[in-house]
């Protein structure tokens, strides 16, 4: 049984569930969305903005912080929380996904990952043990094991090899972890698009035993229905008394659909990145703020939204800021999009608490039809 | 006598003075520094940040807002205050300086200024009457007359012609102004580098009569001492019962020196622009935050500073954000630099109130020697 996760309730009609995760820097409620703070800052907002938005936990990227400013420097300065002035829970990924994204610049061996820095081309190496040491130096609340990401599509043979390597790496991570810090360590289920290999991966990870489990290698190009099927299948295999996390997901629809299938935790750059590109989420669907139709529109982005941006600014002003390339555009858009994602999860939690999540899901789609 | 300006006290040792200016959107204390919000936003901060910083009045640029999003649109949307969500006083310049800066793209005639938009090259025209109409549409609290800027260096003949044209334009602005709005209109003293022409300009403007007076055409490339001499000379010529404003000035030293010479109001892009370029003002002098010496420096930017940035972040973190090109770098640096400028003026006002401004000025320079 995990000491970190507490299950509060489950839907009577689907695998959706309510719970909480306890960390050294506080407890957060699940299902939860984690804003991404790649380089020790959630782009375009302050930690106080995140508090106002009621973000409960954020994610930072081990790969980026390892390269710049370096984990030893962050340790010296008192850890990531103090460095970036965010005193709530932080989850760090292991860097596996970023290294995988470097493609030809990365080489995977039994020992670990050799890769070239995207910043200066210098050669770097991270073993599974190294990624734990880096995350311990950062002082994050939830650490992730180093995993090998599997390209899409991949043969069964490639997928078996990569999945088995991920399990061996997971064991090495768990073995070197310093239990005294109170930092949690989550395993990552690979297995590609093969359900039986995902079953094998879950089995191997459960034998090691982690504080929580992520479904990795999803949303990598496969059809959406396949992603949902693998999520449902994977979430059902994972133990009821541990948090279940789908990495890098996703759209508002993805959040609703994955909660429906039993997932507790999510992260994605979508709300922040899209905000900076002028793509905004509303209860009626997406708004591309540069469009001429908003030029003299005095209404807030979303008349049902209570965020700072919607309470104080018109679509016309937001369009002006965006077309004028003003920094305030990124800020106001990010505040709105993060509010949309955080608030969606609050509504989801309320719906599960009141055992009306299936109804909530239907209403969520109905609003789009308006 | 101006209904807008109230003189509270003057230094017993120099022309420095304390006062206040009353506008439709509130009263501000002088001497004052006005942060610049060129495109209806002070770059990288929110109106709430400006309130927290205790900025009392901001400046917006008529030229930029005339081109984009257009003054008629802003009027339609309820005026500039509502559009940008800043409910304190706003001063708008007339656009003269920006048009002058276009050089070969601008042509000045008796009627007004013809120029090409820097955005799309389209041909535009602004008469003195137009600039008042634009500022009335924006709904600013203090409007500026359209002036012709004089290149540096310029012959006496060129300077006379441009100065006389400015006076004729000033009259046309005053004549068409709608007195019912409560908006103030300030005249601009030209006269280039010729004290006798500045006397002539003051005389002509006083005959028309304005709510306040600006010294224009300074800080255009002349030696610093000449700028200070012309400021002292010009401020002394202007009536005691009206606000005196030096446009586009300046460095912290310039503010201290011009207050010493009797100036009440200032604006400059320096704190905000330098912030975005990583150049920060501190009580001990300037800090270039990208420098390697700050890489692992755990101290705040300025240990004597009480701003949000200095209370919460290390130099090492600010350097990391800057070198990582994070938007938060611009935000935190702008908050700090604006705090430095606003706080400098607060200290200046206190010093004048307590009739120790000359002492304050000495201490200001002494701190740099540390």
DSSP code string of A163-214: HHHHHHHHHHHHHH--GGG--EEEEEE--TT-HHHHHHHHHHHHHH--SEEE
CB atoms within 10 A of CB B8: 13
Residues B85, B9 within the same domain? yes
Indicate which CATH number applies to the domain containing A94: 3.20.20.105
- What are the chain A neighbours of B316 within 8 Å (beta carbons)? 69, 73, 77, 83
pLDDT in tens, B202-214: 999 999 999 999 9
**pLDDT at residue A220 tops 60:** yes
Cis peptide before B31 (omega within 30 of 0): yes
Domain boundary among B241, B268, B295: B268
Residues B189, B316 within the same domain? no
Q: Is residue A315 part of a domain?
A: no
- What are the chain B neighbours of A85 within 8 Å (beta carbons)? 312-313, 317
Q: Given an 8 Å threshold on Cβ–Cβ distance, is B324 in contact with A84? A: no
- What are the chain A neighbours of B314 within 8 Å (beta carbons)? 77, 83
Q: Is residue A334 part of a domain?
A: no
A316 → closest Cβ in B77, B296, B326: B77
pLDDT range class, residue A370, cuts 50, 70, 90: low
Q: Would you state the pLDDT for residue B101?
A: 86
Tell me which residues of chain B, numbers 209 to 248, contact chain A at a CB-CB cutoff of 8 Å: none
Residues B35, B157 within the same domain? yes
Q: Is B290 on the interface with A (CB under 8 A)?
A: no
In this prediction the pTM is 0.97
Q: Would you state the pLDDT for residue A100?
A: 84
Region B233-256: what's the mean pLDDT? 97
- What are the chain B neighbours of A39 within 8 Å (beta carbons)? 320-321, 324, 326
Region A9-26: what's the mean pLDDT? 98
- What are the chain B neighbours of A316 within 8 Å (beta carbons)? 69, 73, 77, 83
- What are the chain B neighbours of A76 within 8 Å (beta carbons)? 296
Residues B236, B340 within the same domain? no
- Contact residues for B112 (Cβ-Cβ < 8 A; gap 6+): B125, B126, B127, B128, B130, B146, B169
A77 → closest Cβ in B73, B83, B298: B298
Catalytically annotated residue among B93, B141, B211, B254: B93
Average pLDDT, chain A: 96
Q: Would you state the pLDDT for residue A190?
A: 96
Name the domain count of chain B.
2
Residues B130, B31 within the same domain? yes
Residues B193, B329 within the same domain? no
B321 → closest Cβ in A41, A317, A328: A41
**pLDDT at residue B103 tops 90:** no
Q: Is residue A322 part of a domain?
A: no
- Contact residues for B162 (Cβ-Cβ < 8 A; gap 6+): B148, B149, B150, B154, B190, B192
Residues B82, B176 within the same domain? yes
Burial class of A29 by CB neighbour count within 10 A (0 to 12, 13 to 18, 19+): middle
Q: How far A334 CA sits from the closest chain B CA (Å)?
A: 12
Q: Would you state the pLDDT for residue A2?
A: 59
Q: How far B45 CA sits from the closest chain A CA (Å)?
A: 7
Distance of CA B184 to the CA centre of its chain: 16
Let me know: does B275 contact B330? Beta carbons within 8 Å.
yes
Q: Given an 8 Å threshold on Cβ–Cβ distance, is A41 in contact with B296? A: no
Catalytically annotated residue among A141, A264, A267, A302: A267
pLDDT in tens, A302-343: 999 999 999 999 999 999 999 999 999 999 999 999 999 999
Residues B157, B260 within the same domain? yes
**pLDDT at residue B1 tops 60:** no
Residues B44, B148 within the same domain? yes
- Contact residues for A35 (Cβ-Cβ < 8 A; gap 6+): A42, A50, A55, A58, A59, A267, A271, A272, A338, A341, A342
Q: Would you state the pLDDT for residue A40?
A: 98
Note if A93 is an active site residue.
yes
Region B346-365: what's the mean pLDDT? 98
Residues B16, B80 within the same domain? yes
Q: Is A317 on the interface with B (CB under 8 A)?
A: yes
Q: Would you state the pLDDT for residue B3?
A: 80
Residues B54, B198 within the same domain? yes
CA distance B370 to B366: 7
Catalytically annotated residue among B120, B267, B297, B302: B267
Q: Is residue A338 part of a domain?
A: no
Which domain, by its residues, includes B132? 5-268
Average pLDDT, chain B: 96
3-class secondary-structure state, position B12: coil
Note if B267 is an active site residue.
yes
Q: Is B39 on the interface with A (CB under 8 A)?
A: yes
Q: Would you state the pLDDT for residue B2?
A: 58
């Amino acid at each position: 049984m995990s000491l970190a996760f507490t299950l509060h309730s489950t839907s009577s009609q689907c695998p959706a569930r309510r719970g909480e995760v306890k960390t050294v820097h506080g407890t957060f409620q699940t299902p939860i969305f984690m804003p991404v703070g790649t380089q020790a800052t959630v782009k375009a907002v302050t930690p106080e903005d995140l508090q106002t938005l009621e973000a409960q936990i954020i994610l930072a990227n081990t790969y980026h912080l390892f390269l710049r400013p370096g984990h030893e420097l962050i340790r010296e300065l008192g850890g990531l929380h103090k460095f970036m002035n965010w005193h709530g829970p932080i989850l760090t990924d292991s860097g596996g996904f970023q290294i995988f994204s470097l493609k030809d610049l990365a080489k995977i061996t039994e020992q670990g990952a050799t890769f070239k820095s995207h910043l200066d081309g210098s050669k770097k190496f991270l073993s599974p043990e190294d990624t734990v040491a880096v995350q311990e130096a950062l002082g994050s609340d939830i650490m992730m094991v180093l995993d090998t990401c599997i390209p899409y599509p991949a043969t069964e043979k490639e997928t078996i090899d990569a999945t088995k390597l991920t399990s061996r790496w997971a064991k090495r991570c768990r073995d070197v972890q310093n239990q005294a810090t109170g930092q949690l360590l989550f395993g990552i289920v690979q297995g590609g698009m093969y359900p039986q290999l995902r079953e094998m991966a879950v089995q191997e990870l459960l034998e090691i035993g982690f504080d929580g489990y992520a479904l990795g290698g999803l949303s990598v190009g496969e059809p959406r229905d396949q992603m949902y099927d693998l999520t449902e299948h994977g979430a059902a295999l994972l133990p009821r008394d541990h948090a279940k996390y789908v990495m890098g997901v996703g759209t508002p629809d993805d959040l609703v659909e994955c909660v429906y299938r039993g997932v507790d935790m999510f992260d994605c750059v979508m709300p922040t990145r899209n905000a900076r590109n002028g793509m905004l989420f509303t209860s009626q669907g997406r708004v591309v703020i540069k469009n001429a139709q908003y030029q003299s529109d005095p209404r807030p982005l979303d008349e049902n939204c209570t965020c700072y941006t919607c309470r104080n600014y018109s679509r016309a002003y937001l369009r002006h800021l965006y077309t004028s390339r003003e920094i305030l555009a990124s800020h106001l858009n990010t505040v709105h999009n993060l509010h949309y994602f955080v608030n969606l999860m609050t509504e989801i939690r309320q719906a599960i608490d009141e055992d009306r999540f299936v109804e909530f899901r239907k209403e969520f789609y109905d609003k789009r039809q308006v």
